Amino acid sequence: MSDENHSSIDRRAYLASVAGAGAASLAGCSLFDTGSDGEVSTVEDDRARELAERFAPTLYFDEHERWFPTDPRPYESERDGETVVDGFDALEGYVGQGGADDPPAPTGFYNVVEYAESPLTVVQFWFYSAFDQFTANFHWHDWELLQVFVDTDTEEPQLHVASSHSRKVPNNEFLDPERTRPRILSELGSHSSGLSVNDDAEHFQRLPLDGSVADITNSVIDGIDAVAAVPLAYGLPRDEGFGLPYAVPELDGAPFYEDDRLPSVDASNLIPEELTVRSLEELRSPPELSTRETGYRFDYRDAQAEGTDVPYDLRPSSDLEHIDDFVGPQLSFEFSVPAFAENAVASHITTAGVPWMDPRYENPANDISEPVHRQALADRYDAIGEPSPVSQVVAGVTNAVSDEDAPEDEGVTTVPSPLEMFALLRSDPEAVPTFNGIAVLNGVPAGDHELTINGAGVAPHTETVTVAEGEATAAGVEGEIPVVARENAVKMEIDPSEADSELRALAVEDDFAGRLYDAPLSGPEAVYVHGGGAYTTELRDENDEIGAFRVNPGDEGRVRVADPRTGKSPLAEYLADIVAETRDEIAALEGDGDSDDGDDDDNDRQGGGGRANSVTGLANALEAVAEAAQRAAEAADNGNRGRADRSLDNVIERLRRVRTRLDEARGSLPDGLARATGNRLEQADRRSDQAKNAEKL
Concatenating the DSSP letter of every residue in 359-389 gives HHHH-GGGG---HHHHHHHHHH-TTSPPP--
* Under 8 Å between Cβ of 100 and 130: no
User: What confidence score (pLDDT) does residue 18 get?
Assistant: 33
Q: Is the pLDDT of residue 696 over 60?
A: yes
Average pLDDT, the chain: 88
**Alpha carbon 677 to chain centroid, angstroms:** 34
Q: How many CA atoms lie within 13 A of 585 on its CB side?
A: 20
User: What confidence score (pLDDT) does residue 391 get?
Assistant: 86
Could you report the per-residue pLDDT of 281-336, keeping only the tens digit for each?
Answer: 778 888 888 889 999 999 998 877 788 999 999 999 999 999 999 999 988 877 77
Report the C-alpha gap between 667 and 342 in whole angstroms.
Answer: 47
User: What confidence score (pLDDT) does residue 623 get?
Assistant: 97
Report the C-alpha gap between 209 and 227 in whole angstroms.
Answer: 20
* Under 8 Å between Cβ of 418 and 391: no
How wide is the angle at C-alpha 561 spanned by C-alphas 558 and 562, nearest 5°?
115
b/e for 215-250, b at 16 or more Cβ within 10 A? Answer: bbbbbbbbbbebbeebbbbbbbbbbbebbbbbbbbb
Report the C-alpha gap between 220 and 222 in whole angstroms.
Answer: 6
pTM summary value: 0.85
Give 517's contacts (C-beta < 8 A, 6+ positions apart). 463, 476, 477, 506, 507, 508, 527, 529
Number of H helices, E strands in the chain: 9, 37
Residues facing residue 395 across a β-bridge: 439
Give 262's contacts (C-beta < 8 A, 6+ positions apart). 88, 91, 92, 95, 256
* Under 8 Å between Cβ of 139 and 331: yes
Q: Is the pLDDT of residue 30 over 70?
A: no
Percent of the chain with pLDDT over 90: 70
Query: Nearest CA to 25 among 372, 432, 470?
Result: 372
* Under 8 Å between Cβ of 524 and 589: no
Query: What's the average model confidence in pLDDT over 690-697?
Result: 96
User: What confidence score (pLDDT) does residue 606 get?
Assistant: 42
Residues facing residue 118 across a β-bridge: none
**Taking the domains of the chain in order of start, what are their residue ranges?**
11-380, 567-697
How wide is the angle at C-alpha 540 spanned by C-alphas 537 and 544, nearest 5°?
150
pLDDT band per the 50, 70, 90 thresholds, residue 248: confident
User: What confidence score (pLDDT) does residue 150 get?
Assistant: 98
Q: Is the pLDDT of residue 602 over 50?
A: no
φ and ψ of 467, to 5 deg: -95, 130
3-state secondary structure of 261: coil
